[in-house]
């Protein structure tokens, strides 16, 4: 009947795998890998032929391809799919070399969808309306603050996830934050009232784990992770009506940052100003204009609209 690992025993197997990882990887990486493996093994255990058990022989290339495809359809980013594949590969190698219950790595030679090379997203007025409406109707104080930082301050998911209390300075009428976790390219930016108000309300009334050094916490942790923010955004979109869903189904949280760049450009900001605000800075500390230009490049729709103005 092959090697069987019953569901009640799977936790100890994952703990054993976590202990193996801890000798060579950071605590954060161990947590991320273990979470991926736990979700993957639970998914495999529910497939036909598994009988509610995780069977290493059911951890096949076919299973991995279908699992990644389901994640892709659910709206997970290509970056996240790469993380899942890396963690699954590590787990497979451990099962092969340490547990000796598999002979092949099922993650090898599995292609992943490529990130789109099209112009970065500019939302239209209806998409902005739907998203802001969903936030107003369904979000708690934490959700409203997270959305505001993406939509009105153009912060990356990583910037928000790693934002520390010491980097947030919010007063009655002014507000500024120090952001830039990615690449340690920190910059100090002022924020508009649309950010200051929800952030102030969250910090005063909605924040859990007040002893945490991080601004955003989850129900179970002192830091809300990048995956946690992506999950929250997908859950928010799932609350849309059918016609609303058709407008926002393929919008990712990072698209809010792209849209901010377009709106800033339309408001008269220079590329240098947008570069600084977005954190597009070179190693020499100068604005990375080429990166910002890609964010704000014209779209086919913009040119189509302006064709009508030609006399």
According to the model, what pLDDT value does residue 90 have? 93
Question: Could you give the dihedral angle defined by the CA atoms of residues 158, 164, 166 and 172, in that order, rounded to the nearest 10 degrees?
Answer: 80
Give CA–CA dist 206/309, Å, rounded: 49
- The CATH number of 125-307, from 3.30.1330.10, 3.10.100.10, 1.10.443.10, 3.10.20.90, is 1.10.443.10
Please give the model's pTM, rounded to 2 decimal places.
0.62
Identify the CATH number of the domain defined by range 7-97.
1.10.150.130
Q: Are strands 187-190 and 168-170 parallel, antiparallel or unpaired?
A: unpaired
- The CA R_g of the chain, rounded to the nearest whole Å, is 22
Domain boundaries of the chain, sorted by first residue = 7-97, 125-307
According to the model, what pLDDT value does residue 266 have? 84
Find the mean pLDDT for residues 64-89.
Answer: 88
Which helix (H) or strand (E) is 271 found in, with range?
Answer: helix 271-278
**pLDDT per residue over 181-210, tens digit each?**
776 778 889 999 999 999 999 999 989 888
According to the model, what pLDDT value does residue 119 have? 53
Give CA–CA dist 181/254, Å, rounded: 15
Is 206 in contact with 196 (CB distance < 8 Å)?
no
**pLDDT per residue over 205-236, tens digit each?**
989 888 999 999 988 889 999 989 999 999 99
């Amino acid at each position: 009947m092959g090697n069987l690992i019953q569901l009640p025993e799977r936790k100890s197997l994952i703990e054993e795998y976590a202990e193996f990882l801890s000798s060579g990887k950071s605590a954060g990486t161990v947590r991320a890998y273990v979470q991926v493996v736990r979700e993957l093994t639970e998914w495999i255990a529910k497939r036909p032929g598994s009988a509610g058990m995780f069977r290493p022989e059911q951890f096949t290339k076919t299973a991995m391809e279908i699992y990644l495809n389901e994640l892709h359809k659910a709206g997970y980013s290509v970056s996240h799919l790469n993380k899942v594949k890396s963690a699954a590969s590590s787990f497979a190698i451990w099962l092969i070399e340490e547990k000796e219950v598999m002979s092949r790595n099922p993650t090898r030679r599995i292609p992943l969808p490529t990130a789109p090379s099209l112009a970065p997203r500019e939302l239209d007025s209806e998409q902005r309306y739907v998203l802001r409406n969903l936030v107003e109707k369904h979000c708690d104080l934490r959700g409203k603050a997270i959305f505001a930082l993406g939509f009105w301050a153009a912060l990356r998911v990583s910037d928000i996830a790693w934002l520390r209390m010491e980097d947030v300075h919010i007063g009655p009428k002014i507000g500024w934050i120090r952001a830039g976790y990615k690449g340690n390219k920190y910059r100090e930016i002022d924020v508009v009232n649309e950010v200051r108000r929800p952030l102030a309300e969250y910090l005063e009334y909605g924040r859990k784990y007040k002893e945490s050094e991080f601004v955003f916490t989850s129900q179970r942790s002192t830091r809300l992770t990048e995956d946690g923010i992506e999950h929250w955004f997908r859950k928010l979109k799932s609350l849309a009506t059918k016609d609303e869903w058709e407008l926002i189904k393929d919008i990712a949280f990072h698209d809010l940052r792209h849209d901010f760049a377009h709106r800033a450009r339309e408001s008269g900001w220079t590329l240098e100003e947008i570069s600084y605000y977005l954190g597009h800075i070179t190693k020499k500390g100068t604005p990375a204009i080429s990166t910002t230009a890609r964010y704000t490049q014209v779209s086919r729709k913009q040119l189509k609209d302006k064709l009508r103005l030609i006399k």
